A and B are shown apart, each in its own frame.
Chain A
Amino acid sequence: MSPQDHLPKANSKMLQPKHGSLTAWQAHHIRCFKDALWRLVRKPMSAWATIFAIAVVLALPGFIMTLASQIKHIGGVWASEQGQINVFLHTQATPSDIQTFKTWLNEQPQIKSSQEITPQAGLLELANRLQIQQITTLDPNPLPTVFLIHLKDPSNQATLTLRQALSNNPLVANLSEGGEWIKRLQDISRFFDHLSWWILGLFGLTVIFVVGNTLRLELQERREELLLIGLIGGTRRYMLRPLLYDGAITGLLGGILASVLVFALLTALAAPVNQFAAGYGTQITVLPPILLSLLFGLIGLVLGWLSAQIMGINFLRKSVPA
């Protein structure tokens, strides 16, 4: 027996819609959408207070995420700049020591390439830079042998171990390197990255509760109407639909407003932040406002819709007979 067989056979006099259910479904969606927009005018205080609350709640993780991505960016630029270690050997190092050291360097997998600058070449370069040709005749040559090491990945753990090995090598007098700082910066970047996702999660939940609370009040007001709709044959989906539109539109507008706040904040801070970033040969890059609005709007819309879904289903389950 099909489920339809459970129903009383339709009376020939009973009205049935002439149009396809798709047309009616579309018409109801349009009506719900218009009603949700109308609610912004009909109850401006309640609606816009919720929208502003969502905007503030979404703007903070949005701002932190943007900041985290900038730190990552600066870290990347710095890391690529610092992908070179200058190794200064002791001046007492013999040609044989230098050859041994060179062989050892060539065996290290973290090293992309290395270049030896002999004391003579160093002195010549110095003389060229200082425009003093006389110093090329200095005897003895006070400069050490220098190796310029180009690393494969300046930030990975193996490279840090290499740095450690280099500084412990008795032939090495000095190292010019920024690896620890890169590592620290990237740790900070990772921390901000994790933090921003956690904050987004927590604040996303807050959005769900904020929207949910507004919709709960709306549901209480519409309780009689929903009961009546249930009584005259409205499905749960039909009852939920206006609520989903309310939640989604509230979330969407809250998200767009959040993007405006983030953009305004970044614009306001652009000058000092860019000055800082310029020190690392980069500058702050923010998504274009439209893309930022789309992104935040989408997040707000999904959270608003989700909130309406949870709140609506819960309310209907408790208050309206199946």
Chain B
Amino acid sequence: MIEFDGASRRFSNGHFGLQDVSFHIPEGRMVFITGHSGSGKSTLLRLIPALDHPTSGTVRIGGHDLKKMPAHQYPKLRRQIGVVFQDHHLLPNRRVFDNVALPLQVSGFLSGDIRRRTEAALDKVGLLNRQRARIDELSGGEQQRVNIARALVNRPKILLADEPTGNLDPELSREIFNQFAQFHAVGVTVVIASHDLHLLKTYAVPRIVLNQGRISHIEEAF
């Protein structure tokens, strides 16, 4: 499903964000990417939806090399990947419903379908009763749940999460991780980048450990 083969990303200042990284995540698996800040977790995640490209090596999704994929095909690829960010990336001037519905609008669903599916996604993260609220009226935990609902509203094949619990308290963090585990249970391939080792150790999930852009080791080989 997700395959890195000697992938490196060198920035214009000469610094390597990622260096010679190789791994393979089969379809339907849940994997943690961990490491200290600046170890290359976010850089790695950005390569999967082709938001960035490796300077050498290859990244394949579904067996296809993203470097060879024509740029006009990236939107179709990205519609099959849900992304959850640490800083939410929510639109503050829109309501909860509109934020969650955005991927469905972009994918070309009509208003009736958008309403039904958005409400279902909000129900799943426990925010159905807050759908009319503005984003700035929500707590940090609620905002992160909106973020998750938006990432999952069109049932992507792959779910990427970059430090999804970075600003949340331990109890809320566990709740968020449990939600990811539920999506993994229904067949979604889940890749979570986090430096919260304490939390990650409570889940029996393979971990790719990065250090200064390289894979230091892979725990619980898969």
The chain A residues found within 8 Å of chain B, CB to CB, are: 3, 5-11, 13-15, 17-19, 21, 23-25, 27-28, 31, 224-225, 227-235, 238, 321-322
Contacts and interface: CB of A to CB of B under 8 A. Distances in A.
Interface in B68-109: 68-80, 83, 89, 91, 102-109
A232 B108 CA distance: 12
A235 B71 CA distance: 10
B108 A7 contact: no
B187 A3 contact: no
Nearest to B52: A321
Contacts of A14: 80, 154-157
Contacts of A321: 50-52
Interface string B145-167: 00000100011110000000000
Nearest to B186: A13
Residue of A6, A238, A321 ringed by the most chain B CB atoms within 10 A: A6
Interface of B: 1, 49-52, 61-64, 68-80, 83, 89, 91, 102-111, 113, 117, 150, 154-157, 186-187
A15 B105 contact: no
B106 A8 contact: no
A233 B76 CA distance: 6
26 contacts: A3-B70, A6-B68, A6-B70, A7-B62, A7-B77, A7-B80, A8-B64, A8-B80, A14-B80, A14-B154, A17-B107, A17-B109, A19-B109, A19-B113, A28-B105, A28-B108, A31-B105, A228-B89, A228-B102, A229-B106, A231-B89, A232-B83, A232-B150, A233-B103, A235-B75, A238-B75
Given A6-B64, A19-B108, A21-B108, A232 B157 contact: no
A11 B69 contact: no
B47 to A, nearest CB: 11
B34 to A, nearest CB: 23
Given A3-B73, A17-B113, A224 B91 contact: yes
Given A14-B157, A18-B109, A227-B89, 20 more contacts: A3-B72, A5-B64, A6-B73, A7-B73, A11-B187, A15-B104, A18-B113, A19-B113, A27-B110, A224-B89, A229-B102, A230-B75, A232-B79, A233-B78, A233-B80, A233-B103, A321-B51, A321-B52, A322-B71, A322-B74
Contact of B91 (A7, A228, A234): A228
Contacts of A8: 1, 61-64, 77, 80, 157
Contacts of B1: 8
B110 A17 contact: yes
Contacts, number: 113
Residue of B1, B50, B78 ringed by the most chain A CB atoms within 10 A: B78
A14 to B, nearest CB: 5
A224 B1 CA distance: 29
B106 A238 contact: yes
Contacts of B49: 231
Nearest to B66: A6
Contacts of B51: 231, 321
A113 B69 CA distance: 78
Nearest to A13: B155
B39 to A, nearest CB: 22
Contacts of B106: 229, 232-234, 238
Contacts of B105: 28, 31
A18 to B, nearest CB: 7
Contacts of B71: 322
Contacts of B73: 3, 6-7
A19 B110 contact: yes
B74 to A, nearest CB: 6
Contacts of A11: 80, 155, 157, 187
A10 B68 contact: no
A97 to B, nearest CB: 86
Nearest to A234: B106
A232 B62 contact: no
A225 B51 CA distance: 15
Contact of A13 (B72, B78, B111, B187): B187
A11 B1 CA distance: 12
Nearest to B70: A3
A31 B109 CA distance: 13
Contacts of A3: 70, 72-73
A171 B8 CA distance: 99
A145 to B, nearest CB: 84
Given A231-B49, A233-B75, A15 B117 contact: yes
Contacts of B102: 228-229, 232
Contacts of B187: 11, 13
Residue of B106, B155, B157 ringed by the most chain A CB atoms within 10 A: B106
Residue of B72, B83, B110 ringed by the most chain A CB atoms within 10 A: B110
A232 B78 contact: yes
